[in-house]
Amino acid sequence: MRLSKTRSHIPNSSCYSGYWKLFWELLLTQHLFIATENWKSMAKLRRNWSHVLIISLALMEYSSAKFQPIIGVMMQNINGMHCNDQYAMTNYQSFIAQGGAGAVPIFVDQPDSYYEQLIPRLNGVLLPGGGLDNLVTSPFANVSKLVFDMAMKMNDGGVHFPVWGTCQGFEEMTTLPLKPQQDLLSNCSGTEGVLLPLNYTAAAKTSRLFKDMLPSLKDTLGKAKITPNFHNLCLSTKTFRETQQLNDFYTVLSTNVDVKGLEFVSTMEAKEYPFYATQWHPEKINYNFVNGLNNDPTFSTAMIAQYFGNFLVQEANKNSNSFHSDDEAARFLFNNYPTQFTGGNGAYLDIYCLKKTDAPKFDRNM
């Protein structure tokens, strides 16, 4: 079994790290003073234990409060996206940030040495949606394969390294375990720009992805039209059942049906790796607000979206990979780049439009 046990870290947004540091410094100072005064009188020994406990907890929290998982989002180069080179949608960065992690672009069209240095510095990877014509030979596909193999190797070595795929990322992840790698997708009808409830499989109840979701939220997700779908290709359940390599690697957690009655896989997770994939867009639940495609903004829908963002960050929080310095990590964050508005066509709003030469430099090995 390659899934590793949880390590306890507290995700922390870098913009708040200074406040956390000040908070714990003040708390430690206060309780160290109280404990010191109390130790002067052995009659107050019992009271000291509470302060010692608080000091111990504060020290643990203070050390871990400086830890922030950083997740890489794959860039892609597609014509017609107002970009001459490569882009990523901003809502993936927002999705990761809402869970308390930082996000960095993973540039395509880079030498292998770039990925060999970057991926071990990350705590997880997200393969985003898009509109690629080829899931096997495109630059996005080539880098996804390289990253997928590196992630498997890390997990095999005991490092809990999650990979998440959304829509196109889901579709890409259906090709990656296959030998030879191939595209097994079918055409779907009426699944472009629609909201659907999930049809859970029996495996969903005990799955890693769904088992800790509040029953009320899980029930809403299975009954209400919440999940945003923006795809015209899908992996049919028939194809999944007939493809042994997919059966061996993934467990289907939910399905949906297109307007012509074709049943397709909508959520899955790997059996032995922390890999998760949704044909639908959890990040769009909270970050898509035009053309009537956004959900009814209820507390439940917001919490559902938050749950998946939290889940991914918690998975990333189970390894201690890191950049070599805070300055190095800061150079790689999406926050360094401006966003560009695409005109509000519903599927794509703000994007990061970057060039491969925008990829930052790594610190020299120390």
More confident call, 202 vs 344: 202
Nearest-10 crossing angle of helices 215-223, 299-316:
110
Q: Are 115 and 356 in contact (CB under 8 A)?
A: no
Looking at residue 78, its pLDDT comes to 72
Q: How far apart are CA 251 and CA 23, in angstroms?
A: 44
Looking at residue 262, its pLDDT comes to 97
CA dihedral 57, 58, 61, 65 (to 10 degrees): 180
* Residue pLDDT, tens place only, 147-159: 999 999 999 999 9
Q: Which listed residue (167, 188, 234, 353) is catalytic? A: 167
341: confidence class by pLDDT, cuts 50, 70, 90: confident
Q: How far apart are CA 111 and CA 122, in angstroms?
A: 18
pTM for the complete prediction? 0.83
> Catalytic site residue 281?
yes
Looking at residue 67, its pLDDT comes to 54
* Residue pLDDT, tens place only, 265-286: 999 999 999 999 999 999 998 8
Q: Average the pLDDT over each of 10-19, 36-45, 120-129, 240-249 and give the range with the smallest value.
A: 10-19
Q: Strand, helix or coil at 278?
A: strand
pLDDT at residue 122 is higher than 90? yes
CATH of span 70-351:
3.40.50.880
More confident call, 341 vs 2: 341
Looking at residue 364, its pLDDT comes to 84
Residues 202, 208, 212, 213, CA torsion sign: negative
pLDDT at residue 224 is higher than 80? yes
One-character DSSP codes across 162-202: -EEEETHHHHHHHHTT-SS-----EE-SS-EEEEE--EE-G
What Rg do the C-alpha atoms of the chain give, in angstroms?
A: 22
Looking at residue 10, its pLDDT comes to 34
Kindly state the percentage of the chain with pLDDT values over 90. 68
Q: What is the CA angle 150-151-154, rounded to 5?
A: 85
> Catalytic site residue 31?
no
Residues 29, 32, 36, 42, CA torsion sign: positive
Q: Strand, helix or coil at 157?
A: coil
Looking at residue 286, its pLDDT comes to 86
Q: Which listed residue (188, 231, 281, 353) is catalytic? A: 281
Q: How far apart are CA 110 and CA 271, in angstroms?
A: 31
Instruction: Give the count of beta carbons closer than 10 Å to the beta carbon of residue 149.
Output: 11
Looking at residue 230, its pLDDT comes to 92
Buried b (16+ CB within 10 A) or exposed e, 214-247: eeebbebbeebebbbbbbebbbbbebbeebeebe
